[in-house]
Amino acid sequence: MGVCNLCEAICGLELTIEGRDVLSVRGNRADPLSRGHICPKGVAIADVYADPDRLRRPVRRVGEGPDAQWLEIGWDEAFDLVATRLARVIEEHGDDALGVYLGNPNAHSLGSMTHGTAMFKSFRTKNRYSATSVDQLPHQLVAHLMFGHQLFLPIPDIDRTSWFLVIGANPMASNGSLMTVPDFPQRARDLKARGGRMVVLDPRRTETARIADEHHFVRPGTDAWVLMAMLHVLTVEADDAPTVAAYVDGLATVVDLVADFTPERAEAMSGLPAGEIRRLAHELAAAGAGVVYSRIGVSAGPWGTVCQWAVNCLNILSGNLDRVGGAMFTTPAIDAVGTGLIGRGHHDAWRSRVRGLPETAGELPVSALREEIETPGDGQVRALLTVAGNPVLSTPDGSRLDGVLPGLDFMAAVDIYVNETTRHADVILPPTTALERDHYDLVFHLLAVRNTARFTPGVFEKEDDQRHDWQIFREITLRTTARLSRRAPLKKRVIQRARLTASPTFLIGQLLRRGTSGVTLKKLRARPAGIDLGPLRGGQLPGRLPSKGRRLDLAPALVVQDVARLAAMPTPVGDELLLIGRRHQQDCNSWMHNSARLTKGRPRHQLLMNPADLADREIVDGARVRVTSRIGSVEVEVAASEDLMPGVVSLPHGYGHARDGVLMTRSREVAGVSVNDLTDPELLDVSGNAALNGVPVAVTAC
């Protein structure tokens, strides 16, 4: 038995192995959540394990630029080198001189969730960054402001809903996100079979839109207008005044906020007809069980926070929060929210040095990282530690970040590849891969469409000269803090060492024993396919609200202020093109292109563009074009597609590997450019999340 923890679907696997080789990978039909489902990435988990390009022992860079060489060194030498250099920078320039960046895979690693978190807390730097601020930060901020905890997130009860509105999300390709929903295709068929409906709003006819009952184009960056107009219909235009539960505050403020956001104004902004907006609002209100769901197409836009707040408001005002078939809350075996294992979050406790951008949940927007490295002064980032991240391809204006990394005093990476970012590191410490370590999902059981629990032991024992990620985090933490003149009290250091020495598996056993589900590690070991804890349960509020007083704030001040800014947004004019990203089921951000099985077949790197927009610019299908934004330009082939709304163009995320020093053989052969050589670090949502969608661009023939 195994688990695919490459994406949020956390599908159960059955593996056939011989010695240390994987012969086949299949979906596990006995898994109560994934039910035998598997996508191409799940099969390719074996490719990552067997990849000859992945690092297995520490390497140190010798030389600069394209001529740099990587020399294997011992683990003790590597740990001491990293600890000495990090401590030196902190001692000479202060805590904030160290910058840390966490990539997306950290949320999928048990060792990172336990020991990695402890490592980053041991560093007192304010220069903390992660992929969160190019992804789901608005969702977390809104959950914190409305419900009292950043990960107390309502989950669509897709297995029992009758009306499902999907905005800026593509679960057919992503397998769900902030909605752990393996086997979405079957669940969508089941929805239709029981007479339910799915409606998709998106500027591209996505894979999800193609199977929906309806799809409507919406201009990028204007989803907030559509959602606000739907709220207007449910409140101002309703025959009866809306009502909410006694524990909900702020209804009158919401009614006032949406008063001027009429469907007619929303049509002028978004392109979605006013009549359709009214109809969708009425259908939601009339559905016996309906739910609205939005994701990265919205959260990685200029109004991500307002959008996610409006989605919650729609679910609340339509009576669909905390009820069967609506937006519900999980009851996992390990409640990372209720136990305080993951912090509540906060906002604007400090600000970035250069641009004054507010932190959220202890992290600054990653859009500020480059300027914090290149701008001299107190607090300048002089050393950088990245963990399973590739911000050169994954964050705005990646080419300029690429250009400033060589100027760091020191850089270390915990990673299995020499990629576009880690090629600048002085030392790379490679952890074991998913098939070599134990796993329990602390986050994604919390976000799943059904309550389940599953522990997966490592399929292979690690080799003697390998280290798990938690062992790497332990050594970096203990050896770096030992070299600092500022030392924690002895009692705190003893507790820290004890916690870091305990394995993640031991800690999971302790956490399960403290829970109320009756699930233990022993029971999970006896049932490796997982234990079914039943469907999502309604009627949990207000008892489970993490907020003080068990109150739900329908109108947080930060959102109220941003709605005023939204109201002043000018009506779109002219023939400006807007750039959006896209994902494919065979892509996994920027790091799975080294698998031949995932990159074979038709190329999918092209700029997609509506035929009418091509004709207006006298560009032919298949031509090479130059795409230019405020911050840069790229050259790429264009492909005509009726799936794109006129005025919208699309490039996929995670491409652009052909750079000097990248040691990923297959990836370098994959055509394509990085969309983040065009995205603008100054385009931000109020949360600090990058607005990667809706970037103004020009397209010309080369």
Q: Across the chain, what does the average pLDDT equal? A: 96
Q: Give the three-class secondary structure for 167.
A: strand
User: In the prediction, which pLDDT does 574 show?
Assistant: 75
Q: Which of 19, 1, 14 is nearest to 463 (CA)?
A: 19
Q: Are 608 and 582 in contact (CB under 8 A)?
A: yes
Confidence of residue 403 (pLDDT cuts 50, 70, 90): very high
Contact 452, 533 (CB under 8 A): yes
Are residues 663 and 333 in contact, defined by beta-carbon separation less than 8 angstroms?
no
What whole-number percentage of the chain has pLDDT above 90? 93
The pLDDT assigned to 490 comes to 83
pLDDT at 486: 85
Question: How much is the pLDDT for 662?
Answer: 96
Provide the pLDDT for residue 119: 95
Q: What's the pLDDT score for residue 367?
A: 98
User: Is the pLDDT at 1 greater than 90, yes or no?
Assistant: no
* Overall size of the chain counted in residues: 702
DSSP string over 216-282: E---TT-HHHHHHHHHHHHHTS-SS-----TTEE-HHHHHHHTTT--HHHHHHHHS--HHHHHHHHH
**428 burial class (0-12, 13-18, 19+ CB within 10 angstroms)?**
buried
> 200: helix, coil or strand?
strand
Neighbours of 700 (CB within 10 A): 12
Token output for 401: 């970040």
List phi, psi (to 5°) of 217: -70, 140
Strands 163-167 and 197-201, by their bridges, are: parallel
Interval 308-353: pLDDT, tens = 999 999 999 999 999 999 999 999 999 999 888 899 999 999 999 9
262: pLDDT strictly greater than 90: yes
Q: Is the pLDDT of residue 241 over 90?
A: no
pLDDT of residue 433: 96
Spacing of C-alpha 202 from chain mean position: 19
pLDDT tens digits for range 211-230? 999 999 999 999 999 999 99
Summarize the confidence of residues 236-247 as an average pLDDT.
91
pLDDT, tens only, 650-694? 999 999 999 999 999 999 999 999 999 999 999 999 999 999 999
Over residues 593-606, the pLDDT tens digits come to 999 999 999 999 99
Alpha-carbon torsion (655, 302, 688, 201), positive or negative = negative
Neighbours of 408 (CB within 10 A): 18
**Beta strand segments in 536-623, E:** 552-553, 577-580, 607-609
**Is it the case that residue 532 has pLDDT exceeding 90?**
yes
Can you give the C-alpha Rg of the chain in angstroms? Answer: 24
d(CA 27, CA 14): 6
pLDDT per residue as tens digits for the range 115-152: 999 999 999 999 999 999 999 999 999 999 999 999 99
How far is it, in rounded angstroms, from Cα 424 to Cα 59? 12
